[in-house]
Structure formats: structure tokens, C-alpha cells
């Protein structure tokens, strides 16, 4: 009986606690850093509409599947997949889906922590007035000097990983819940304050027009697939975090209702980031299609020249750090849970060893920006290679496998029991998870490997 299965780590204390945790897992640098710049590169409003459709039709159904698998298994992703595989009388090799999720989480966090370190360093730069009066070449040189220094990057990477490890070692109630209870509200308060500032800028309505005007002539096939990929990755699927957080979810909580709330919150954060960034960009006559440098090389120019730029620059980069931290604890939690449950580690020891491994792997990314910049594998430096292998290969494969397992391997009785939906709604979810979601992820995968 699955009702007798209990997570060794305990459960979230409330429905609200899980919503905070799952939202924190989803909301991160991908929403505030990546979403605005890829929207800028893909023409604005029409791209946003496609992104929203993909969240509803692909991302949310897979998130529901991963959550229900976690709650039914009640353990870390590896043990959960072993349990569910045996229950479904499926091929035992399915348990490697759990291994891939944990591995993806550690690999992603190894370079995610380095980028979060950039944001942490830029909080200090904003505070000390480094952007004040600086022109574009000066800001660009600041960024080049910053990432060109292994010592600076190592310092901020270490500080960020220590904060992540400290939160995770406290456990579900004293660590994850307590941290997320102030991290997520603080993030939303900063977002609202920055939106309020954006409304006072001369480029506010121009920014809104760019973000929401539907000009389908700017859409390409590549744009549609990019929107699909961003929707999938922004929800944090396929890396074990949603599965392990689902393992801590009380039986009485509705999975579907919770995923709808989390998907909405995740999407709102991405849209608010666009509402903040594009008016500032237009108000200062900056290029909207600046790519990945939009946050670290373009916005500081605006912060250095606009009224109140010192304060709002600090707030913006603090917001980035908070968003990154809420995701980092989710990325490392599956590995910590496995070490505790399968290897008998104390939670403190598990957080230490998982964190130490992640921290050491992070130096590959640190050195790829300076000392090892000339070292390439398959045309990528080590940071780019880690990003490509995880985000473009491991996560699509993981998401596709989750959809196939939940839709085709698990019996309808088991998934229906976890979701507890009216029959018509359950049948809609089954249609999405069996056919539309895996087809969508498959096309994303073909795109990123260059077939489409």
C-alpha cells in the first residue's frame, strides 16, 4: 500500500510550504537572466505567447508526472525509480532515470554556482558604485576583468556553495522551509519594487509593447523550439529536484492544483523580469538583443546613469542571488537525500560531501573563463560543454523518459490514485503526457542536436 510509504526525510509542513519549495526550485537565473535575453533575440510578444503555450501543454503535464512519481515512491529519485519500476513490472533499467536526474543536478549546480557567484560579486560592485558614470567600454572591461580573475570567481563560487550547503544540511523544516519562507517573499517584493521603478521610466510602454505585441513575422521555426525548450527548462524538470520535493508532499495535497500554481508563479516571475528589464533597456537606448551579456554588460550601463541607479542596481543583483539560491538548494537535495537514505550518511555529512563534489567540479567552469580559456572539447570550453550536455541533452532525455514512464509504464490506477482528478481532467492529462508532451520534448531534443 502506497499510503504506508513515508519519506525518511519527513514531509513539508503544509501545502504552502511545498508551493514555496517547488516555486523556488523553478524560479532561478533562467527566469531573470535567460528569459529576457532570449525574448529579445526572438522578437518579443509572439515568442512570449508560444512560451506560455508550451508551459501549459508540455511543461506543466511533465511537472505533474514527476511530482506524482516522487510522491508515490517517497524516496530519493534512484530509490523511487526502483520502487516504481518494480510496482509497474517494468524493465529494471528504468532506475537509471533516477541516476541521471541526480547527476544532472550536481553538474548543473557546479556551473550554476559560478554564475550565481557573478551575481553575488555584482551586488558588491553595485554597492560600491562601480557602475556610476561608466560608459559601455568601461562596463564591458569590468566584466572581462571580473571573469578573467580565477581568485575572484573562486571566492564568490565558494561563498555561494557554502550558503547552499548550510541551508540543505539543516533538513526539510529547519533548512529548506525556513530559508524558502524568506527567500521567495523577498524575491517577489524586490520584483514588485523594480517593476514600480520600471513604470517611472520613459521606455516603460515601449518595453511593454515589445514584450506583449504579437508580431508573428518575427517568429521562426527555431524561435518556436527555443520557446519550447525554455518552458521546459525554466520549470526545472528532469533533474531530480521536482521528484524529490514530490516525495516530501503530504498525501492530502492536490498535485495538479499545486503544479498549476507553481507554473503560474514561475511564468509570472519571467514576465516581471521582462517588464523590469526591457523598459530600462529602451529608456537608455541600449540594444534589446544583447544576448547573455544583457544582465552583466548592458544593464550596469543603465544603472550607472539613471536616477536611483545605485539603489536599484543593488536590488536587482540581490534579487538574482536570491533566485539562484532558491534553485541551488533544490539542485543538490536529490544527491543529499540519496546519500542519507541509501548510504546511511547523516544529513550534515551528506550535505558536506555532495557540496564538496559540486564545489570542486565548479573549478572547471571557473578556469574555462581564464586559465583554460583556450582549451576546447568538441568546440566548447568546459563551462559551455557542461551547459550543453546537461541542459541540451540530459534534461530533454530525462523529461522525455518521465513522460513515457508516467504515461505508458505506470498503470492508470496508480497515476489516477495519486492525482485524484475527475475523470475528464485525468483523461486530458493522460492525452498530454502520453502524446503531446513527449513529442514536444523530442522535437526540442532534435533541435538542440542539430537535426532540426
How does pLDDT run across 70-91, given as a tens digit for each residue? 999 999 999 999 999 999 999 9
Summarize the confidence of residues 246-265 as an average pLDDT: 92
Share of the chain above pLDDT 70, in %: 98
pLDDT score of 38: 85
User: Cα(123)–Cα(156) distance, rounded to whole angstroms?
Assistant: 11
Average pLDDT score over residue span 32-48: 86
Backbone angles phi, psi at 380, to 5 degrees: -125, 145
For residues 330 and 395, the model is more confident at 330
Integer Cα distance of 433 and 322 in angstroms: 32
- pLDDT-derived band at 291, boundaries 50, 70, 90: low
Residue 335 DSSP SS3:
helix
pLDDT in tens, 92-130: 999 999 999 999 999 999 999 999 999 999 999 999 999
pLDDT of residue 32: 84
Over residues 368-390, the mean pLDDT reads: 89
Q: Give the distance, in angstroms, between the CA of residue 191 and the centroid of all CA atoms in the same chain.
A: 17
Burial group, residue 293, by CB count within 10 angstroms (0-12, 13-18, 19+):
middle
Tell me the average pLDDT of the chain. Answer: 90
* Mean pLDDT score, 39-49: 88
Residue 414: closest CA among 104, 131, 69: 69
Q: How far is CA 79 from the centre of its chain?
A: 24
- 185-244 tens-digit pLDDT: 888 888 899 899 889 989 999 999 999 998 888 888 778 877 877 887 788 888 899 999
Q: What is the pLDDT of residue 352?
A: 97
pLDDT band per the 50, 70, 90 thresholds, residue 1 = very low
The percent of residues in the chain predicted with pLDDT above 90, rounded, is 56
Q: What is the mean pLDDT of residues 385-395?
A: 85
Could you tell me how many residues make up the chain?
452
Min mean pLDDT across 55-59, 400-404, 408-412 is at 55-59
| Average confidence (pLDDT) over 262-284 | 89
Quick one: fold of 15-449? Amino acid/polyamine transporter I (1.20.1740)
Amino acid at each position: 500500500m502506497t499510503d504506508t510509504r513515508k519519506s525518511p526525510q519527513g514531509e513539508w509542513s503544509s501545502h504552502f510550504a511545498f508551493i514555496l519549495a517547488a516555486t523556488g526550485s523553478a524560479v532561478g537565473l533562467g527566469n531573470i537572466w535567460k528569459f529576457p535575453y532570449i525574448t529579445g533575440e526572438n522578437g518579443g510578444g509572439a515568442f512570449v505567447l508560444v512560451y506560455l503555450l508550451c508551459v501549459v501543454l508540455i511543461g506543466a503535464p511533465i511537472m505533474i508526472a514527476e511530482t506524482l512519481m516522487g510522491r508515490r515512491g517517497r524516496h530519493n529519485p534512484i530509490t523511487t525509480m526502483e520502487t516504481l519500476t518494480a510496482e509497474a513490472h517494468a524493465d529494471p533499467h528504468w532506475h537509471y532515470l533516477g541516476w541521471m536526474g541526480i547527476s544532472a543536478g550536481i553538474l548543473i549546480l557546479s556551473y550554476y554556482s559560478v554564475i550565481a557567484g557573478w551575481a553575488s560579486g555584482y551586488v558588491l560592485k553595485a554597492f560600491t558604485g562601480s557602475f556610476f558614470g561608466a560608459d559601455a567600454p568601461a562596463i564591458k572591461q569590468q566584466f572581462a576583468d571580473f571573469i578573467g580573475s580565477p581568485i575572484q570567481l573562486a571566492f564568490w563560487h565558494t561563498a555561494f556553495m557554502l550558503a547552499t550547503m548550510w541551508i540543505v544540511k539543516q533538513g526539510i523544516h529547519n533548512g529548506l522551509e525556513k530559508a524558502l519562507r524568506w527567500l521567495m517573499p523577498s524575491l517577489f517584493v524586490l520584483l514588485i519594487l523594480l517593476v514600480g521603478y520600471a513604470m517611472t521610466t520613459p521606455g516603460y510602454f515601449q518595453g511593454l509593447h515589445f514584450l506583449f505585441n504579437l508580431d508573428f513575422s518575427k517568429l521562426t521555426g527555431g524561435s518556436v523550439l527555443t520557446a519550447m525548450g525554455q518552458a521546459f527548462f525554466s520549470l526545472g524538470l528532469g533533474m531530480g529536484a521536482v521528484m524529490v520535493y514530490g516525495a516530501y508532499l503530504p498525501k492530502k495535497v492536490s498535485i495538479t492544483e499545486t503544479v498549476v500554481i507553481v507554473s503560474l508563479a514561475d511564468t509570472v516571475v519571467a514576465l516581471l523580469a521582462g517588464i523590469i528589464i526591457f523598459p530600462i533597456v529602451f529608456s537608455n537606448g541600449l540594444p534589446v538583443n544583447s544576448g547573455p551579456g544583457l544582465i552583466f554588460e548592458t544593464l550596469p550601463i543603465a544603472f550607472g546613469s539613471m536616477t536611483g541607479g545605485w539603489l536599484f542596481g543593488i536590488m536587482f543583483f540581490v534579487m538574482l542571488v536570491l533566485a539562484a539560491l532558491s534553485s541551488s538548494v533544490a539542485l543538490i537535495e536529490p544527491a543529499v537525500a540519496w546519500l542519507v537514505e541509501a548510504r546511511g550518511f547523516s544529513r550534515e555529512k551528506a550535505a558536506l560531501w555532495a557540496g564538496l563534489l559540486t564545489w570542486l567540479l565548479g573549478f572547471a567552469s571557473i578556469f574555462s573563463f581564464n586559465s583554460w580559456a583556450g582549451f576546447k572539447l568538441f568546440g566548447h570550453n568546459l563551462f559551455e560543454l557542461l551547459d550543453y550536455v546537461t541542459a541540451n541533452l540530459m534534461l530533454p532525455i530525462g523529461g522525455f523518459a518521465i513522460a513515457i514512464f508516467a504515461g505508458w509504464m505506470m498503470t492508470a490506477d496508480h497515476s489516477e490514485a495519486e492525482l485524484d482528478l475527475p475523470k475528464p481532467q485525468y483523461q486530458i492529462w493522460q492525452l498530454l503526457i502520453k502524446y503531446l508532451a513527449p513529442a514536444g520534448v523530442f522535437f526540442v531534443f532534435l533541435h538542440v542536436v542539430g537535426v532540426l
